[in-house]
Amino acid sequence: MEIKYRIGIMPGPWPAGPGGAGFLWELTDFCEKSAIDSIWLSDRLSSPIPVPEVMTTLAAIAARTARLKFGPSVLVLPYRNPTVAAKEMATIDYLSGGRLLPAVGVGVELPKEFEASGVPFEERGRRTDEAIQIIRRLWLEDEVTFHGEFYRLDRITIFPKPAQKPPPIWIGGKSEAAMRRAGRLGDGWIPSFITPDEFRRGVEQVQRYARDARREVPADHFGALINYTFADSRDAALKLANAYIPRNRVDDATLAASTAFGPPEVLALKIQEYVEGGGSKFVLRPLCPPEQMLDQLSHLAEEVIPAFHRR
C-alpha cells in the first residue's frame, strides 16, 4: 500500500462574541487556499466557551469550499439517533462531492451532557457500537433492518447515498475500549493527547483487534491529534499556550511527550515520531489566543505541511 501523508487542522479556542461567524469564514477561506488538507471541529453539547454545533458548521464549510476536506473531531455518537446522523452525514458528503471525513467517539466523561441528551452515561459505549454498524449499513445498503439493544430499524432506506462508497469511519479516543472499537468496527484510529510510544503500541493493538474480528484497518488509516504552539523558544510558546491547555485531561508527562512547543522544526520532529509509530494522518491544533491563530496556521501551512505532503 502506498502511504499518503496528510495534515489537517483543528481550530484552537474559538473567539467569543458576535465576531465568531466572521472568524469561521476567514479561517475557512484561508484553509481552502493553503496547503492544509482538512479542517476538523469539536463536538460539545454544553460548554462554557464557544463551540459551534458541528454538523451545521461542517455543512456551511462544505458550501463555501471546493477543495478542502472536513470532519468532526470527534462526532459524539451517543448523543444522536444513528439514522438521523447517517442521513445528515450522507447528505453533506453527497453535496460536497465526497469531502466528509467522519470520525466518531463516545465523548468526554461529562455525565451531565449525556443526561441532557436523554442518554444514560453508562450506555454510551454500547450505543456507539450499534450506531457505527447502523450508519455504515445505511450508507451501503438500499434497505436496512436492524434489531439491537438500543435501536430498531425496519426496512429503512436513506437517499441520497454518500458520494464516497462509503465514507471511512475513524474512531477517536485512546482507551482500550476505543482501540477495540477501532479494530472491530472502525476504518481508522485517531487519538489525542497520546505519547508516540503509546501511539505505536495502540496501532499494534488496533491491528490485533482487527485480526481477531477477521477484518483489516488500512495501514494508512492511523493518525493523531497534536497540539502545538510556534514561538522562538519552548518557554515563549508555553507562555502563549498555557491558558488553553486542558490540564484536567492530561498529565505533565503526557503533555510534554504529545505536544510541540517552539519553532516549526520542533513540530516537524514530533510528527515524525508518530510517523515512525505507524501514523500518516494528522490533525494539528494551535494553542494560542484566537487573534494569533491564523498566523500560527500560516506558519504551519508554509513551513511544516509541504514536506509531509510531498512524501
Cell output for 137:
449499513
The domains found in the chain, sorted by start residue, are: 6-309 (3.20.20.30)
Q: Percentage of residues in the chain with pLDDT exceeding 70?
A: 100
Region 254-269: mean pLDDT is: 97
pLDDT attached to residue 194? 97
- For residue 232, give Cα distances in angstroms to 11, 214, 264, 265, 307: 21, 49, 9, 11, 21
pLDDT tens string 227-247: 999 999 999 999 999 999 988
Measured between alpha carbons, how far is 205 from 179 in angstroms, rounded to an integer? 7
- Digit-coded pLDDT (tens) for 171-186: 999 999 999 999 999 9
pLDDT of residue 2 exceeding 90, the answer is: no
Q: What is the pLDDT of residue 108?
A: 82
Answer whether 132's CB lies under 8 Å from 183's CB.
no
Hunting for cell 446522523 — which residue is that? 85
| pLDDT higher than 80, residue 17 | no
> What's the pLDDT at 132?
98
Per-residue model confidence (pLDDT) at position 109: 81
Tell me 268's DSSP state: H
Inter-residue long-range contacts of 198-203, CB under 8 Å, 24+ positions, other chains counted: 198/174, 199/224, 199/274, 199/277, 199/278, 199/279, 200/276, 200/277, 200/278, 202/174, 203/277, 203/278, 203/279
**Can you give the pLDDT at residue 246?**
87
Per-residue pLDDT, averaged over 252-274, amounts to 97
Residues 53-107 pLDDT 10s: 999 999 999 999 999 999 999 999 999 999 999 999 999 999 999 999 999 999 8
**Looking at residue 101, what DSSP letter applies?**
-
What is the rounded CA–CA span in Å between residue 156 and residue 32? Answer: 36
Q: How confident is the model at residue 20 (pLDDT cuts 50, 70, 90)?
A: confident
- Grid cell digits, residue 164: 464516497
pLDDT of amino acid 13: 85
Confidence band of 249 (pLDDT split at 50, 70, 90):
confident
Tens of pLDDT, residues 135-155: 999 999 999 999 999 999 999
Measuring CA to CA, which residue among 114, 43, 108, 54 is closest to residue 249?
108
The rounded mean pLDDT for the chain is 95
Return d(Cα 159, Cα 151) in angstroms, integer.
20
**Residue 18 phi, psi dihedral angles, 5° rounding:** -70, -10
* pLDDT at position 111 over 80: yes
CA 7 from chain centre, in angstroms, equals: 12
Higher pLDDT, 13 or 240: 240
121-126 long-range contacts, CB within 8 A, separation 24+: 123/78, 123/150, 124/78, 125/177, 125/181, 126/150
CA atoms 167, 172, 178, 180: torsion sign? positive
Q: How confident is the model at residue 162 (pLDDT cuts 50, 70, 90)?
A: very high
Residue 50 — very low, low, confident or very high, per pLDDT cuts 50/70/90?
confident
d(C-alpha 94, C-alpha 90), whole Å: 6
